[in-house]
A and B are shown apart, each in its own frame.
Chain A
Amino acid sequence: MAKSTKIDIDHVSKLANLPLPDEQKRIFASQLTKILDYIEKIEKADTKNVEPTFNVTPNKNVTRKDTAGTCLTQDEALQNSKNTKNGQFVTKGVFKSE
């Protein structure tokens, strides 16, 4: 993690599936660089032999019986979609011809 870490806005915006106007790209490049410069201070923390923490609860392998319970009706599930057809969601095509 070098001080010169540069964020490639175009590449990250593509990874994030997040379209950004050019003006916002310019602003973000400057703001995110400043934030990353600050964040790099964690490099100094000694984490040798330290395990990462992803969850703070004592819960382990919480499971339930594999049975169907109540769930949304088809109408409820579809009610907030802007584009439905024959009681289904319309998704983006996977292949170019679609």
Chain B
Amino acid sequence: MPCALASLGARVRNDIFINMNNLTALSLTETIEGLGKKEFSEAGLNQAYGERIKKLNPDLNAFLEVKENKSGIPAGIKDLIAVKGRQMTCGSKILEGYIAPYNATVIDKLKENNISFIGKTNLDEFAMGSSGENSAYGSVKNPWDKNKVPGGSSSGSAVAVAADLCTFALGTDTGGSIRQPASLCGVVGLKPSYGRVSRYGAQAMASSLDQIGPITKTVADARKVLEWISGPDAYDSNAVSASFKSTNRKDLKGLRVGIPKEYFGKGLDAGVEKVIKVAIKKLEDLGATTVEVSLPHTQYALATYYLIITSEISSNLARYDGIRFGSTRDKFGAEPKRRIMLGTFALSAGYFDDYFIKAAKVRTLVKQDFEKAFEGCNVITGPVSPTVAWNLGEKISDPLTMYLSDVYTIPASLAGIPGLSVPCGFSQDLPVGLQILGKYLDEDTILSVGELYEQATNWNKQKPRLQTPERSDGGQAKL
């Protein structure tokens, strides 16, 4: 509309205000392009994000610490990934005041690509939780409805991306902690294959499952960040030597999409199911063929997962003894304590074989389920979460109900395969994410499916309507 533009041009202050807003709406890919064409400066970009954080973060509680830079492309970092000289609380009182003495490998890799770190994002304590309510520093709020949870445990990272408080963010995913908050906040979340990205410098929760990955505004952005952060690392002997290669599929012709019948049963919300089925139909419209697959051990995955991770947690969190760093063990919050207790029990004399070893064997069966299913398809799709975001406080006093909210993300974690959450619509005015799972180390295919779906639907362009506080200049620049 030329008239509107002309009138904006005449109001210089408003014009600046609009441009600042637009900068924060840009994807990582668009930001890099804009900087390349000198449409805006790195200083301006950082200032725009800094100002938006000041306005919105007090309500959302996405960032625990903010440091505005003058250069680089601002990213948010989950506060259990070490950035040298910056605080790292892991969302826990036990690490209050801890300053990381070194960089995580992913941080060094991002720095090589001109990324700066605008803030450390809030999380469920030690990445234990599905709602963002287990942080010792207050609950994180969902920008689509501040009475709802944002999902977890990479809650602040998903909220910061959804509310345009950073260009992209890093999270970690052990049982769904990137995919589920991305789904509940309407942004893209990628859990790479276990071993694709070095975990060095990320606080260990469950070492055989933890993986760092990006939360982004577009699937293309997730691909870019994965290209940057993946690869072998002498500091993580589980990091695989095979490098990530992008082929960028042009269409979905010939692609076989597996639909697991176990992911569409009891417990799946009808509204979410409807949105997911429309999304799968869209993949068919784009040329893919759908086939039903079966993952028969899905019913045991959650129980298996909670035995394995709590066992690993009880061992990993033994390092918190208040000697080399942190406070005494009574400073752990309720969820870490609960998991340390369960894990210690599962590993204790008389129970080790019945619990831990049995779970490790069922893990093999879950992994084999996927291997068999992938004999007949290239990717597997379904819901990320059985429901949309629920009310704050709704599940916090019932841990088992909270654990069940990760029922569709946990099996892929046990198998070590990659998973992507892509925005695919809304139910009850809240975002729904489509989960796309791939073969081990085949992030390229799931990203291609996600990119082609995204280009055909543009659900990722939908943004939450966020009320910004009244401006101190009397609202002159309000539009």
Contact = CB atoms under 8 A, between A and B. Distances in A.
A52 B167 CA distance: 41
B466 interface: no
Contacts of B208: 54-56
Contact of A18 (B238, B341, B400): B341
Given A17-B329, A45-B297, A47-B365, A12 B341 contact: yes
A45 B299 CA distance: 9
B400 A35 contact: yes
B410 interface: no
A64 B97 CA distance: 34
B137 interface: no
B341 A32 contact: yes
Interface string A1-20: 10000010100110111111
B341 A13 contact: yes
A28 to B, nearest CB: 6
B138 interface: no
A79 interface: yes
A68 interface: no
Nearest to B240: A57
Nearest to B236: A62
Contact of B99 (A18, A52, A80): A80
Contacts of B326: 80
A44 to B, nearest CB: 8
A38 B329 CA distance: 28
B182 to A, nearest CB: 22
B294 interface: no
A81 to B, nearest CB: 6
B5 interface: no
A83 B323 contact: yes
A47 B97 CA distance: 46
A55 B338 CA distance: 25
A16 B300 contact: no
B340 A18 contact: yes
Contact of B342 (A1, A17, A35, A58): A35
B318 interface: yes
A97 interface: no
A43 B300 CA distance: 9
B440 A16 contact: no
B299 A16 contact: no
A7 B310 CA distance: 15
A91 interface: yes
Contacts of A96: none
Interface string A41-84: 11111010011111111110010100000001000110111110
A16 B365 contact: no
B244 to A, nearest CB: 15
A44 B358 CA distance: 11
Contacts of B194: 56-57
A28 B360 CA distance: 25
Interface stretch (B27-35, B172-180, B221-229, B301-309): B301-309
Contact of A53 (B234, B329, B360): B360
Contact of B324 (A62, A89, A92): A89
B357 A53 contact: no
B463 interface: no
A85 interface: no
Given A38-B303, A45-B300, A47-B365, 14 more contacts: A9-B341, A16-B340, A18-B332, A28-B341, A34-B400, A45-B361, A50-B361, A53-B361, A56-B194, A56-B416, A57-B195, A62-B237, A72-B102, A79-B101
12 contacts: A18-B329, A31-B338, A42-B359, A45-B358, A52-B360, A53-B364, A56-B416, A59-B240, A62-B238, A76-B101, A80-B324, A90-B323
